Amino acid sequence: MNGVSDSATPPAFDRTTFDCPHCHALAEQVWLNAYAQPVANPAGIPLRIAGEGLEQLSQNPQFPPAVREQKVAYWNRVNAGEVFLDRWAPVETDWLVAGLELSVCRNCMGMAVWLGGRMVHP
Ligand SMILES: [Zn+2]
């Protein structure tokens, strides 16, 4: 959040346009609610593929090379701690995550996470 204090239009919960914390452009932001569903991983804990598992995935002949590249790029972003939108299987849930909102920059697609009306990421 370096520079937010001297930003002309700092990120704020009551704005649809602010200086993006990712690309730093004054840009329109789309606000999103978050909904929850239990993790689908059979182990019952969040799925992460890293290290040797990611190496195996990158060479898995079950997937065409383009799909493998896409999957590896996805896990590299997740493993780096990024928070981003990704198309996944449709879900049906009525569990709203109250008090948590997301804002997405229309300029760079960078996402911010807000808890209790305060930006906590990035
Ligand atoms: Zn941006």
Summarize pLDDT for 98-108 with one digit per residue, the tens.
999 999 999 99
Same domain, 46 and 85: yes
Distance 100 CA to ligand 1 centre (A): 20
- Please, what is the average pLDDT of the chain? 93
Same domain, 83 and 107: no
Q: Tell me how far the alpha carbon of residue 19 lies from the centroid of ligand 1, in angstroms.
A: 8
Question: Which residues are CB-contacts of 50 (< 8 A; sequence separation ≥ 6)?
Answer: 75, 79
Q: Are residues 65 and 98 located together in one domain of the fold?
A: no
**Residue 89 has what pLDDT?**
84
> How many structural domains compose the chain?
2
Give residue 19's domain range. 1-37+93-122
Q: 80-94: per-residue pLDDT in tens?
A: 999 999 988 888 999
| Calpha distance 29→11 (Å, rounded) | 9
Average pLDDT value for residue range 44-60: 94
Tell me the CA–centroid distance for residue 15 and ligand 1, in Å. Answer: 14
Q: pTM value?
A: 0.82
50 lies in the same domain as 20: no
Closest by CA to 29, choosing from 119, 109, 122, 104, is 104
> 55-83, pLDDT tens digit by residue?
999 999 999 999 999 999 999 999 999 99
**Same domain? 100 vs 116:** yes
| Cα gap 91→21, rounded to integer Å | 29
Gap between the Cα atoms of 3 and 19, Å rounded = 10
**83 and 46 part of one domain:** yes
- Quote the CA–CA distance of 105 and 103 in Å, as a whole number: 7
Q: Which residues surround ligand 1, an ion (CB under 5 A)?
A: 20, 22-23, 105, 107-108, 110
pLDDT at residue 3 tops 50: no
Same domain assignment for residues 115 and 98: yes
Query: Per the structure block, which two tokens stand in for 85?
Result: 């939108």
Q: What is the pLDDT of residue 7?
A: 80
